[in-house]
Amino acid sequence: MDKYEFAHARSRLGKTQADMAKLLKTSLKAIQSYEQGWRSVPAHAESQILLLVALKGGRKGRKACWIVRQCPPERKRQCPAWEFKAGTLCWFINGTMCEGKPQHGWKEKMKICRSCSVMNSLLESE
């Protein structure tokens, strides 16, 4: 998550920098550093921010990942997003079967998720 995405997410949530610091249990200085690009947003903070944006924006009308990606039945059965019926929150769940195998680590997963329309629909402006 770069500084622009962070600021956009904070705006979508309607939070001040001080509010975000409380939500993410970090300092105001850290939030300011994320928005200035002086520090990178840690994976745990990025995942929480994206989850909050998803929950605030609602998931009505969004298609499940297995529909968007046209996953075959055998891949769906192996995927935790399918197991937990969380096809619009697939980017939040570790071990999803995007590209046919589970990703190891947040950065690897986010590289795939950022090119997927399931996540892009979450990040679009309202």
> Is residue 126 over pLDDT 50?
no
Q: Which residue has tokens 């935790």?
A: 80
pLDDT computed for residue 36 by the predictor:
95
In angstroms, what CA-CA distances link 73 with 11, 35, 95?
A: 39, 42, 17
pLDDT tens readout for residues 30-80: 999 999 999 999 999 999 999 998 888 766 678 889 998 899 999 999 999
Longest Cα pair distance anywhere in the chain, in angstroms?
Answer: 47
Predicted structure pTM score: 0.78
Task: Tell me the mean pLDDT in the region 80-101.
Answer: 88
Token pair, residue 25, equals 């249990």
Q: Give CA 99 to chain center in angstroms.
A: 17
Q: How far apart are CA 106 and CA 83, in angstroms?
A: 20
